[in-house]
Structure 1
Amino acid sequence: MSISMTTWSLEQTSPADQRPSATAGNVRIVRAEVPSPEFSRFLYTAVGGDIHWTDRLPMTYAEWDAALTRPGTETWVAYESGTPAGYAEIEAQEGGAVEIVYFGLIPAFRGRRIGGHLLSYAVARAWDLAERWPDLEPTKRVWLHTCSKDGPHAMDNYLRRGFMVFDTKVTEEEETVTPGPWPGARP
């Protein structure tokens, strides 16, 4: 069965575009400094399972490792009271661009104001990425994309954090079943 999907690309072109969110409760955001394909795959399936993230599911361990160990790639994990709640993966690109490649919360943690806090933090880390990776040029642009399959608050969160839409595409795609962390996990 084919479904219509809208994809929006959004960007910030200056650190001044950032609009931070308030800190959320007992949430800590920590960089996963040791790249771990196992942990990243867990985060990917736990966050993206119910919203049909599928692009990385066929990747081998070696492909996950290669994606995570590229210079300028970082994974930032939000923990609420010690439990992983969501994550953001950022990646340096040519020309001083940094993409927020993956961003989201595990379903049980959505709607608790963690997403705004995590996104604010991830955007700030994208803007100061070259401070941690001296061989990279300074960040000139932070961008991401979201789509109509993402959660109902995703677009509002991006706009509230200071992102502006620069492109919109509508495509048809086959509806897929995604496993989440396991079949039947919280819808």
Structure 2
Amino acid sequence: MRTTTVTTWSLEQTSPADLVPVQVPDAASGIRIVRSEVPSPEFSRFLYTAVGGDVTWLDRLPWSHEQWRAHLERPGVETWVAYEHGTPAGYMELEAQPEGTVEIVYFGLIAGFRGRRIGGHLLSYGTARAWDLADRWEGLEPTRRVWLHTCSLDGEHAVANYEKRGFRLFATKTEEQPETAPPGPWPGAHA
């Protein structure tokens, strides 16, 4: 079996003051970010495959409809979606964890929307929502830490975008993984 070397970087913010937001796009850009408030396994799976299909997001592909639903209905799990003129462009999934920690579990843009200054805005907005997550969920501890991880299989500008938004590196891991071709957003997309 062929393997590939994958580096994973873990980054964090430990104060809301760490966030360095980008300038909010003007209204003419058609960019808006909306929380997907109704848990929808179909919509969440669409976002997951559309954004992650070309960067080897594989872990949730085997999930059943019920697994998606159970995950999305957990208190403190939120999906924030970036739209450009009404079309989904990307998303961010937040997940509350113990002791006031919030993980940005997934973040990314659909390939056709990358490089259009949407990612910095989505990351800024979504990170601010991670910091005020407890305000929307009864029983959650106030956020004391926001963290995420990215890897060398993700977009080439991922780490730089996170660092520009005020995230600091706290761990790096390199390992060999089985070489896997990205599935694409739908079967045969890379054919």
For this structure pair, what is the TM-score category when the shorter chain's length is used for normalisation? Answer: over 0.9
Write the mapping of 1:65-104 to structure 2, written as runs, cut at 5 A. 65-104=69-108
Percent of residue pairs bearing the same amino acid type: 69
* Residue 41 (structure 2) aligns with: 37
Extract unaligned runs of 5+ from structure 2: none
* Residue 146 (structure 1) aligns with: 150
Please tell me the residue identity of whatever aligns with 1:6: T
> What is the CA–CA distance in structure 1 between the aligned matches of 2:154 and 2:186, rounded to whole Å?
19
Please tell me the residue identity of whatever aligns with 1:143: W
- Aligned-pair RMSD on alpha carbons? 1.2
Question: 1:186: Cα distance to partner?
Answer: 7.0
Would you say the 8 A contact 1:90–1:99 is kept in 2? yes
Extract unaligned runs of 5+ from structure 1: none
Question: 1:180: Cα distance to partner?
Answer: 2.3
Question: 1:184: Cα distance to partner?
Answer: 4.4
Deviation per CA, 1:15-72, whole angstroms, max 9, x where unpaired?
0000001223220100000010100000000000000000001111111111111100
Specify the SS of the correspondent of 1:3. strand
* Residue 10 (structure 1) aligns with: 11
Say if 1:2 and 1:151 are closer, same or farther in 2 by CA, change over 3 A.
same
TM-score normalised by L of structure 1: 0.97
TM-score normalised by L of structure 2: 0.95
* Residue 28 (structure 1) aligns with: 32
Specify the SS of the correspondent of 2:140. coil
> What is the CA–CA distance in structure 2 between the aligned matches of 1:79 and 1:39, rounded to whole Å?
14
Specify the SS of the correspondent of 2:88. strand
> What is the CA–CA distance in structure 2 between the aligned matches of 1:61 and 1:171, rounded to whole Å?
31
Instruction: Figure out how many residues of one structure are paired with residues of the other and give that number.
Output: 187
Provide runs of 4+ in structure 1 moved above 3 Å: 183-187
Please tell me the residue identity of whatever aligns with 1:12: Q
Question: 1:126: Cα distance to partner?
Answer: 0.2
Would you say the 8 A contact 1:107–1:186 is kept in 2? no
